[in-house]
Amino acid sequence: MCGPNYFFGKKVITRTDQRYLGEHEFVDQVELVKASADPVIFEIPMEDITMEAVNQMAIGRDRLYSLSRDRAGAYGRAIVASLARKLTGSLVREIARYFQRESMTINEAIMKVEGLMEKDGVLARRIGDMGNNLVERGKKKYLITVA
Query: Which tens digits make up the pLDDT trace of 11-69?
Result: 555 555 455 556 667 767 777 766 655 567 889 999 999 999 999 999 999 998 888 88
- Give the model confidence (pLDDT) of 134-147 as tens digits: 999 888 876 665 55
Here the CATH number for the domain that contains residue 99 is 1.10.1750.10
What element of type H or E holds 136?
A: helix 121-137
pLDDT at 3 over 60: no
Ordered DSSP codes for 54-70: HHHHT--HHHHH-SS--
Compare 85 and 3 and report the one with higher pLDDT: 85
**In the beta sheet, which residues pair with residue 140?**
42
Question: Do 20 and 75 belong to one domain?
Answer: no
Task: Give how far Cα 88 sits from Cα of 19, 34, 40, 46, 77, Å.
Answer: 36, 19, 9, 9, 16
In terms of domains, do 32 and 45 share one? no
Total domain count, the chain: 2
Q: What distance in Å separates the CA atoms of residue 44 and residue 25, rounded to the nearest whole number?
A: 38
**pLDDT digits 0-9 by tens, 81-113:** 999 999 998 999 999 999 999 999 999 999 999
Q: What's the whole-model pTM score?
A: 0.71
Say if residue 116 is in the same domain as residue 94.
yes
Which residues span the domain enclosing 32? 6-36
